[in-house]
């Protein structure tokens, strides 16, 4: 499995043709206590850069954008009842959805962990 990051602080872990999407620890720290999550429905087609999920916290609401084009094949429904999971484990149990990618070449423009760490340090 390979992990990639975006400048909007989303991450995806890719296993085969499936990308699991979430927000980074940096993003959840900036948001503060997460109080609401809206995940996409299974079967929804998403395009790279398109709003895919919504996160609301005590500080702000934020959109989560898909780093890849494809079809949502699984949504993390339990987040609706326990949105704090995104604060507790943003890059693990706090994932939002899994997307079957239609164009794996889109991964080429994303950052690896070292590049993302350098990006965040520069903010």
H or E element at residue 118? helix 113-121
pLDDT digits (tens, 9 = 90+) for 58-102: 999 999 999 999 999 999 999 989 999 999 999 999 999 999 999
Please name which of 25, 109, 96 lies closest in space to residue 68, comparing C-alpha atoms: 109
pTM of the model: 0.95
- 3-state class (DSSP) for residue 121: helix
Six token digits for residue 84:
């704090």
Q: Confidence band (pLDDT; 50, 70, 90) for 23?
A: very high
Q: What is the average per-residue pLDDT within 25-40?
A: 96
Domains identified in the chain and CATH numbers: 2-114 (2.40.50.100)
The predicted structure's pLDDT at residue 1: 84
pLDDT of residue 46: 98
Token couple for 70: 């494809």
């Amino acid at each position: 499995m390979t992990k990639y990051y975006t400048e909007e602080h989303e991450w995806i872990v890719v296993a085969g043709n499936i990308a699991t999407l979430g927000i980074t620890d940096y993003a959840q720290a900036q948001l503060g206590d997460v109080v609401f999550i809206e995940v996409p429905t299974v079967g929804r087609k998403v395009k790279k850069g398109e709003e895919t999920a919504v996160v609301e916290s005590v500080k702000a609401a934020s959109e989560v954008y898909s780093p890849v084009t494809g079809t949502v094949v699984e949504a993390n429904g339990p987040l609706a009842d326990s949105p704090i999971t995104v604060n507790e484990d943003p890059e693990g149990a706090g994932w939002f959805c899994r997307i079957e990618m239609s164009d794996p070449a889109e991964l080429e423009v994303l950052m690896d962990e070292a590049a993302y760490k350098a990006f965040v340090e520069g903010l």
